Chain A
Amino acid sequence: ILNVEQSPQSLHVQEGDSTNFTCSFPSSNFYALHWYRWETAKSPEALFVMTLNGDEKKKGRISATLNTKEGYSYLYIKGSQPEDSATYLCAFYNYGQNFVFGPGTRLSVLP
């Protein structure tokens, strides 16, 4: 069973604050790590696909880093806005074509 953890489970920040959260996954047999953004009453949407140790991806104010050797990825949001409020999911893939989603981090950005 693949164990993928995300922390914190939830957080509240003020508009304009920068924030980050963590996805932890098994460091062996790594294939890919995906990040998704899931707004309330909508479906999850892909943010990033990361495959190489040291990868950094950026989309607007959101960026992510990957450390496959120690088994973690960070997602950063710079200058949070209320529209960033969502649950952020990571999904870990190994070479056996197995994958699992983490439980998510629920972000609330207060105006």
Chain B
Amino acid sequence: DADVTQTPRNRITKTGKRIMLECSQTKGHDRMYWYRQDPGLGLRLIYYSFDVKDINKGEISDGYSVSRQAQAKFSLSLESAIPNQTALYFCATSEFSTDTQYFGPGTRLTVL
């Protein structure tokens, strides 16, 4: 079984819709992250959380919000999706000691 799972894996939606992407992990890590990947731009950090009560904005947080419901769950929401949020979204976890990140399989989101 995968240690970091993301749902859904693919989603097509329309401009203005509210979308939630979910991430769950069984690695027991405190730290969780959301990234987006656009062609030619690598991974850009949206939000991260070092524990359940800690939420931090990343490089590109505008238009996104997150919720850390439990140590194992970290959700990303697009309150009103727009076409330039079309991208591949990755969730990741890390442990404090090394910060090595373990990535989920990704969610491909298309906003029409």
Contact = CB atoms under 8 A, between A and B. Distances in A.
Interface in B33-81: 35, 40-45, 59
Contact of A43 (B44, B45, B90): B90
B98 A49 contact: yes
Given A43-B90, A43-B106, A102 B42 contact: yes
Chain B contact residues (Cβ within 8 angstroms of A): what range? 10 to 19
Q: In terms of DSSP, what is the predominant structure of the interface of chain A? A: strand
Interface residues of A, number: 18
Given A43-B90, A102-B42, A34 B106 contact: no
A103 B100 contact: no
Interface string A27-38: 000001010100
A43 B102 CA distance: 9
A93 B101 contact: no
Contacts of A52: none
Contact of A44 (B40, B98, B99, B103): B103
A100 B40 CA distance: 15
A74 interface: no
A53 B45 CA distance: 26
Contacts of A102: 42
Interface of A: 32, 34, 36, 42-46, 49, 89, 91, 93, 99-104
